[in-house]
Structure 1
């Protein structure tokens, strides 16, 4: 039975959580109010007649203007240019009624001396649009209901324009051989800024409530990641507009195609274009989606009102088939389920995002649960970063990669401290095999399994000897497990990335490369065999290491020389070949890099100061969406807070034994260096050779190895804490991610294209 102290603590935690939820709800209301003040009731105009050379005074019987509306064209109202003949009126009111062809009134609006000015346009709007199913002629009747101090005029053309006649009276009078200067209100923001912000209040308030309650009660961090990550991830599916997450249009095509394959359907036409449903065809393109308040509004309305269609792929889209090279199982499952139910496009997209989020949270929560107690706060913070949850709340396969690498890293660190159970051995092999093909640049992470003591990987429950003998060689069974992990990873990585590797080495002598690779494998095998024979003789082992270092130096120097003199260089004419946008048609291949090492180093040195800050923003998630297309940067204060929270979660507690030994720490540094080099090599591979800085390099590519970098911080001896800051750091990251979403939503909504 709980004592009084624990009850009081629980009540205090509950009160703090309720206050936090109330504060976030009020903050969402404020964001909605602020956006409504700035963006609400804003029209978008489409010119119907811009020819006006005369002023027609509004007669007592009024005027009737006919306007043409196309099928499917939204009508939110009309806009006319008035004239007060240079006077400032103090009284008068005008009514504008709009009727369809069958006489149904669809709009009625008023204008008075407070909003009608000389030689200015005034709009008359409605909140809900009228959208005809076929071409239609609307009737607009203008008349006075309160007399004006002086004549009220409207600018018009001399002669009828575009089959839009103007009549005196209610439309039964004489044609005036003119057309008013009129613009169609094609869109209208209305109350949508406030309404959309209100939709974020519930998930964000729930995230704040759960984060504070669980952090104050020191609940398991895995539970905090699962619940808070779910609430924040759900809000990210709404904060990030459709197809605006990094490369989301490509990921949509890949997941959509996989869902079609599961349904046993033909997914491409004879030209390789992706086949889609009729209701999805307008949304498939090869560009990032739209942002701004009107994009948010259109997506919300379409999600609620747009019809779906049966799961029949009948229309060829702009997207190409065959783009799926990553892990799209979760996204494809969501899309397949939505198509099976006949949902519309935006609902289908949301299903795919939610399925991706669910898989990420399963992996991230498992990583936090499996990690050693000293590292759970670190993994919880990284899992709740804005970038992690933004990727999870989109169609990006990087979310699965993140979760898989996090779980593999956590498992390796856990097995450094305790003996592996049978299911953990299986999980280690499966995760190592999954990390390698998931994304080529993360292959070095698999080497982390070598940091596990081999005795912890021994599958035997009761071993008479720590070693087993195979063909006269004695070795630990744990080494065999590590070899299986590395071999499976190497084979799957090669199968998944061989074509990409061949493309990157397209201007090199493939025969020499294969011969060099075979020679390297032979040297490694011989070195392993020699090590097994000399490991019990200190003198022989010392000479083995010296010889190995000498071979490595010769291999590096000889390899660099050979690669830089392998041929395949570009001719002067080829170097000058450019595309219409000025980019070179050639990119930094492996061969070009090896032949031009000084130029490559100069490019990287120029890139670091210019793009370094953006990489940090991309790593944390304080720059949202696809930064190459839209730069949505939240306050740098949020970034500083996230960095401090990560450092707090990484600092050791006093008298805590470091998890990594000195040798393991240097091995971790080597893994990080290999991943960074692989990331740079991948970015160079799509950078034109006439660029002065890297193209397309983003900080999120380093996010999977962020826990490894923070592990090195955890090993420091100069700074330590009296007690663990894990729960406080996780709470801080959750709140900062929440604030990032709110500010990001405001920036997305208020974005305007640069003129």
Structure 2
């Protein structure tokens, strides 16, 4: 490494850390104003802890990325994901992520099974401890009305106050009652990690908040471990996986109860296995096929649209299987496991959406579109897709990177210039750099990955058109950018070309700036919530 390059990295390290420090001091004014107005002095020392942890994370991760010692990128990612994930878990408390209250109650159900206790009654309602009822009954207020739909559903200063007041200790009241929330009808494997966290909290006799934070921590640990495996196995473009894994939206989901955390990391791991088998010198072994089948059997029933990920297997040359017959057997095994999982978990759902002649959208109290009706009206289907892309594409971009966090709360926003920088950073990291002698994904393989990405996006939009959109709407409702994160890193890898080549490799510098952006977003969000009285 040249002396000038070393000095440049030191300057960037110092500037990044200094900028985060100055911004943290600036946003302290908002926290102080909120503390004075609410008379909750704990906000200032909470913010002090957050600022110190954030600065420590920026300083330490900057040293790992920009220092003389060359640490493996997967090691740096694991450290960054855990540190930043814990910060986001603190700033955006339990139940603040999209649909998190239902994911929480689904994990609670699994925890009862783990502990050998009854999980549901005859009607499928979930048993919880009576001391945990406050979690779903202590919502915030919006426009003067009490929501009463969950602790962090509407995130405001009152949420922090209740967390500080209750603490992690339990009350000792372990009498079981029925939750008013409905568990998600999906594979129980989606909630094994957070369910284990809740089970541990119950064994330790922690209170409801203790269960919430342990459940989130276990989900974050699962996400970090699987992403570490994915980055480690990826034959090229490792930094792209790291960058997508450190986007504000990804961190928010990873540090929550959401099964999106599992879907994102498992889907990326599946793609990493396929690319490793396609481009490394390895031949496909039986254990590789078993692993691919197992991964698809886990992720498939969660959201059926990610079945397109199986298409990554076609990037692997037939010769690496030992011949066409072995290739066909491997493909059949993966398809069989996926199909069996779908029939076992989602058969009833599939029958409802594909066989019904009527569809009622409960939240809108209106009739909706039907599968058969759309197939017989292709013009209407094209119109809905066109209108949605024209009016909603910007929203998909913003919600994929994390412009609106919480329950897609536009007050809890990450500034637009940060979203622009994150977009720029991902594109630059995807381009060819010195030392990249080979462009692996090109020709038909590039076109195939584009097709898979578009097929996933189209299937997602179609599913929400049937499941969530009333017939009176002119656009497809319910689609969010976070649904595209599982395929985003592989799609970005196709950007590398021979026409646009960078003179230097700035991947580690950009990763450091992404980390700085994450910490800045966290301290700013804490300030916003503190003033939301």
TM-score, length-scaled by structure 1: 0.63
Q: Secondary structure at the match of 1:276?
A: strand
1:634 equivalent among 414, 431, 437: 414
- CA pair 598-697 structure 1, distance change in 2 beyond 3 A: same
> Structure 1 residues 680 and 477, CA, compared in 2 at 3 Å: closer, same or farther?
same
Residue by residue over 1:281-331, the C-alpha shift from the partner in whole angstroms, topping out at 9 and shown as x without a partner, is: 122255562321222122122125x53436x45222322356554600000
Alignment of 1:345-494 (within 5 A): 345-373=208-236, 375-418=237-280, 419-420=282-283, 422=285, 423-458=287-322, 467=323, 475=324, 477-494=326-343
Select 1:28's aligned residue among 24, 48, 61: 24
- Give the conservation status (yes or no) of the 8 Å contact 1:245–1:625: yes
Contact 2:284 2:320 in 1 (8 A): no
Match of 1:210 in 2: 60
Matching of residue 698 in structure 1 with residue 480 in structure 2: yes
Partner of 1:670: 451
Deviations, residues 241-290 of structure 1 (Å, cap 9, x unaligned) = 32111101100110001101111222234554322112101222555623
Q: CA deviation at 1:19?
A: 7.2
Offset of 1:224 from its aligned partner? 1.3
For the residue of structure 2 that corresponds to 1:315, the secondary structure is strand
Contact 1:447/1:486, CA 8 A, preserved across alignment: no
Q: CA deviation at 1:380?
A: 1.1
Aligned equivalents of 2:209 and 2:316: distance in 1?
A: 46
Report what 2:389 is aligned to. Answer: 608
The answer (yes or no) to whether the contact 1:234–1:393 under 8 Å persists in 2 is yes
Alignment of 1:735-754 (within 5 A): 735-751=516-532
* Alignment partner, residue 372 of structure 2: 591
Task: Indicate if the aligned counterparts of 2:9 and 2:66 stay in contact, CA closer than 8 A.
Answer: yes
Larger proportion of helix: 2
Partners of 1:255 and 1:435 in 2: CA distance: 16
1:238 maps to 90
* Residue 8 of structure 1: how far off its partner (Å): 12
Change (3 A) 1:25 1:679: same
Q: 1:545: which partner in 2?
A: none
Instruction: Give the superposed CA RMSD.
Output: 2.8
Alpha-carbon distance between aligned partners in 1 of 2:395 and 2:318, rounded to the nearest angstrom: 41
The answer to whether the Cα contact below 8 Å between 2:16 and 2:513 also exists between their aligned partners in 1 is no
Q: What is the distance in 1 between the residues matched to 2:501 and 2:517?
A: 24
Structure 2 vs 1, CA of residues 224 and 192 (structure 1 numbering), >3 Å: closer, same or farther? same
Contact 2:97-2:256 within 8 A present in 1 as well: yes
Report which of the two has the higher share of strand: 1
Does 1:497 find its partner at 2:346? Answer: yes
Instruction: Tell me by how many angstroms 1:595 deviates.
Output: 3.1
Q: Summarize deviations over 1:631-650 as a string: whole Å, max 9, x none.
A: 52221000000001101110
SS in 2 for 1:618: helix
The residue matched to 2:60 in structure 1 has which SS?
helix
Alignment of 1:646-661 (within 5 A): 646-653=426-433, 656-661=437-442
**Structure 1 spans left out of the alignment, 5+ residues:** 43-187, 459-466, 468-474, 508-567
Q: Is the 8 A contact 1:210 1:228 kept in 2?
A: no
- Given the superposition, is the C-alpha separation of residues 723 and 261 from structure 1 closer, same or farther in structure 2, using an over 3 Å criterion? same
Whole-Å separation in 1 of the counterparts to 2:200 and 2:253? 21
CA gap of 1:355–1:671, structure 2 versus 1, over 3 A, is same
The 1:646–1:11 alpha-carbon spacing in structure 2 relative to 1, beyond 3 Å, is: closer
* Residues 404, 410 of structure 2: 8 Å contact kept: no
**Alpha-carbon distance, 1:25 to partner:** 4.6
Partner residue of 1:199 out of 49, 54, 62: 49
Q: 2:424 aligns with which of 637, 644, 649?
A: 644
SS in 2 for 1:266: coil
Distance 1:313 1:611, change over 3 A: farther
The residue that corresponds to 1:506 in the other structure is: 355
- Cα distance in 2 between the residues matched to 1:630 and 1:349: 24
User: CA-to-partner distance for each residue in 1:193-230, whole Å, 9 max, x for gaps?
Assistant: 32221121233123212321122134221111101111
Is the radius of gyration larger for structure 1 or structure 2?
A: 1
Residues 16/651 of structure 1: CA separation in 2 closer, same or farther (3 Å cut): closer
1:275 and 2:57 equivalent? no
For residues 322 and 431 of structure 1, the distance between their equivalents in structure 2, rounded to whole angstroms, comes to 20
Q: Return 613-622 or 598-607, whichever deviates more.
A: 598-607
1: CA distance between counterparts of 2:526 and 2:194? 24
Is residue 297 from structure 1 mapped to residue 161 from structure 2 by the alignment? yes
Q: Tell me, what secondary structure is at the counterpart of 2:126?
A: strand
Residues 233/696 of structure 1: CA separation in 2 closer, same or farther (3 Å cut)? same
- SS at structure 1 position matched to 2:355: coil
Q: Which residue of 1 is the match for residue 36 of structure 2?
A: 41
1:747 CA displacement:
2.7
User: Residues 361 and 469 of structure 2 are in contact (CA less than 8 Å); yes or no, is this contact kept in structure 1?
Assistant: no
Q: What is the 5 A alignment of 1:474-623?
A: 475=324, 477-507=326-356, 568=357, 583-623=364-404
Kept in 2, the 8 Å contact 1:25–1:202? The answer is no
CA shift in 2, pair 1:483/1:300, >3 Å: same
For residues 726 and 683 of structure 1, what CA distance do their matches in structure 2 show?
36
**Higher RCO structure, 1 or 2 (CA under 8 Å, sep 6+):** 2
Q: Deviations over 1:624-679 (max 9, x none)?
A: 0112x665222100000000110111001256322124121222122112211110
Take 2:176 and 2:295, find their aligned partners in 1: how far apart are those partners? Answer: 39
Length-normalised TM-score, structure 2: 0.88
CA contact (8 A) 1:278 1:309 kept: no
Q: For structure 2, list consecutive stretches of 5 or more residues without a partner in the other structure.
A: 138-148
Residue 309 (str. 1) matches residue 172 (str. 2): yes
1:396-424 residue CA offsets vs partner (Å, 9 max, x unmatched): 01101111111111121122222147454
Q: Output aligned runs, 1:244-259, within 5 Å.
A: 244-259=96-111
Helix, strand or coil at the partner of 2:279 = coil
- Partner residue, 1:343: 206
Structure 1 residues 235 and 261 mapped into 2: Cα distance closer, same or farther (>3 Å)? same
Task: Give per-residue Cα distances to partners, 1:28-55, cap 9 Å, x unaligned.
Answer: 3432233213x1222xxxxxxxxxxxxx
1:190 alignment counterpart: 40
Cα distance between partner residues in 1 of 2:338 and 2:121: 35
